[in-house]
Structure 1
Amino acid sequence: MEQIVVRGIAERLLFEAPDSDYRVFRLHDEDDDATYTVTGHGTKPLVGDRLEVKGHWVQHKRYGRQFAADGWSRIIPESVDGIERFLGSGAIKGMGPALAHRVVAAFGKDTMAVLEKDPQRLLEVEGIGPKKLAVITESFYEEKQVNDIAYDL
């Protein structure tokens, strides 16, 4: 079966198996402005996550047309607004919406590069001290590793 790649924004988690990493969620496709159901095994997508999903279309006898995912990964947004939404979404421990706003205001489109390559610069932002920096940095690397964040620095 031919594998298809779609990109979109996670809108809502519909189902989460209590005994496995099986998930069902709604994805708003960036290309055709459609919203559809994605099923598969993987890390829990957060509402607002920009995802790249690989898989194929199936017809479920009860739920209709669905995208059966072989896997998905988060895509780091490229716009300043998108970076701020991502950082403030809860994906990175220690950083809520207000702090994400200050960090992005300080570093703009370079924010993700700062987090990846020079996180000590976060100390320039009001509200970030050594302890908070350690939490943010550890969480960022964990998130990157666990969720296979796809981005281009």
Structure 2
Amino acid sequence: MVKGIGPIFAKRMVERFGADILSVIEHRSGELVTVEGIGPKRRLRIKQAWEEIPRKGNAPWDVVYRKLRRRSSGLPRSQRLKRA
């Protein structure tokens, strides 16, 4: 998983960004500060941890996606992260 994203923050991030969450972390991490409890320091830690994930094909994306999806399971069905 990505350091700095526990179950509470995963839920908040999915509520805020939905299926775009991985794109936000990768390309628009500045938007993470719009999530309650994520300030500039935590945003930077999340971004740095994300960049340390080894990339081999789509495997890391799938792993992170599945874990975030699992952590968002406490949300109402309409807000859960779903595979496109």
1:139 and 2:53 are equivalent in the alignment: no
Q: TM-score, normalised by structure 1?
A: 0.37
Task: Give the number of the structure whose residues are more often helix, by fraction.
Answer: 2
User: How many pairs are equivalent?
Assistant: 60
For 2:18, which of 108, 111, 135 is the aligned residue? 108
The answer to which structure has the higher strand fraction is 1
Distance change (3 Å), C-alpha of 1:114 and 1:149: farther
- What is the deviation of 1:116? 1.0
Larger radius of gyration: 1
Q: How many angstroms does 1:148 deviate by?
A: 2.7
Q: Which runs of 5 or more structure 1 residues have no equivalent in the other structure?
A: 1-90
- Structural mapping, 1:4-153, within 5 Å: 91-143=1-53, 146-148=54-56, 150=58, 151=61
User: 1:122/1:147 Cα in 2 relative to 1: closer, same or farther (>3 Å)?
Assistant: same
Distance 1:133 1:115 in 2: 9
**Cα distance in 1 between the residues matched to 2:3 and 2:57:** 16
Offset at residue 147 of structure 1 (A): 4.7
How well do the aligned residues superpose, as a CA RMSD in angstroms?
1.8
Unaligned ranges ≥5, structure 2:
62-84
Partner SS state of residue 120, structure 1 = helix
Where does structure 1 differ by over 4 angstroms across 4 or more consecutive aligned residues?
none
TM-score, normalised to structure 2, is 0.65
Describe the SS at the equivalent of 1:108: helix
Q: What SS does the corresponding residue of 1:92 show, helix, strand or coil? A: coil
